[in-house]
Amino acid sequence: MVIMAASTSSLTFQPILERIAEEIERTPGRGRPADYIPALAACDPRAFGMAVAELDGTVYGVGDWREPFSTQSITKVFTLALGLAREGDELWEHVGREPSGNPFNSLIQLEYESGIPRNPFINAGALVVTDRLQTRTGDAAGELLAFLRTESGNPALDFDKDVAASETAHGDRNAALAHFMASYGNIDNPVPALLDQYFRQCSIKASCADLALATSFLARHGVRADGTRLLTRSEAKQINAVMLTCGTYDAAGDFAYRVGLPGKSGVGGGIIAVVPGRCTLCVWSPGLDERGNSVAGVAALDRFTTLTGLSVF
């Protein structure tokens, strides 16, 4: 990917973030928190934080950038990376790489496509990836948490038991997805055990600073914070590509149009984004639009790429 940017070598992120925060503060209408997960419904939709991490680990932030929030579907990126690192292209025999065009928890396409989910970022696809990681590690959620703690440099990251319990109590649709795929032989583990792993991984709490740092391996083309390689350069490119085309539910086209970066959102209000070879970002604001993406988060990333010229296009 070629990064088009104006004077990126001398770019100073802090004043840009402060300008964005001021603009967001003046913006009316921030959407609504995810009310179908009771533990998230009480979040303040006007909360806002944003962080940028450079490849050397320097982090800039503004607003609530050190406030932990529920990562939700953002974790799907890291589970995919851990799974891809273990089995390479074999993983893609069980999950596709195409946008779904349907809601993230839809059952419709699974029947037409014999239990193979369209991509790893809709719920069905994430369940498959978690299932395969569980088979290889015996504790997919624990493996993910250890990775995030290491890459973020924050050993205090942990699961939120209340959020996990809330999702379990309202997890019938995910159970249906898992059972349906199991009927096609695309799930190896018992569905209750898989759902426990999946809900735990989605419940992890982390801040914008934590997630910007943890995502940096994708900007470093697969290289971890300690200099070891998790993914090949080609595998890192694959994940960035799927983030660009599938990372924001069925609004990925609009996100690519507005922001122009690989990104992954979560219904907790967070969005991570990658500028390959340059930096990573995380923005958080709990108010969501009708497609499940943070209203202020998308607007902030749009302004970031406009002000900096940093984009993959």
* Distance between CA atoms of residues 255 and 50, nearest Å: 17
Q: Are the C-beta atoms of 37 and 167 separated by less than 8 Å?
A: yes
DSSP symbol at 26: T
Strand partners, 60: 52
| Beta sheet of 279-284, edge-to-edge order | 59-63, 49-54, 279-284, 270-275, 263-265
CA angle 224, 307, 7 (to 5 degrees): 70
How far is residue 1 CA from its own chain's centroid? Answer: 20
Specify the residue for token string 């038991």: 161
Burial 269-288 (b: 16+ CB within 10 A, else e): bbbbbbbbebbbbbbbbbbb
Cβ-proximal residues to 54 (8 Å cutoff; 6+ apart), any chain: 13, 278, 279
CA dihedral angle for residue 170, residue 246, residue 33, residue 208, rounded to 10 degrees: 110
DSSP symbol at 294: B
Helix (H) or strand (E) holding 151: helix 140-152
* Distance between CA atoms of residues 172 and 248, nearest Å: 22
Q: Are the C-beta atoms of 225 and 66 separated by less than 8 Å?
A: no
Spatial CA neighbour of 85 closest among 124, 143, 142, 141: 143
Catalytic residue positions, numbered: 73, 76, 198, 249, 267
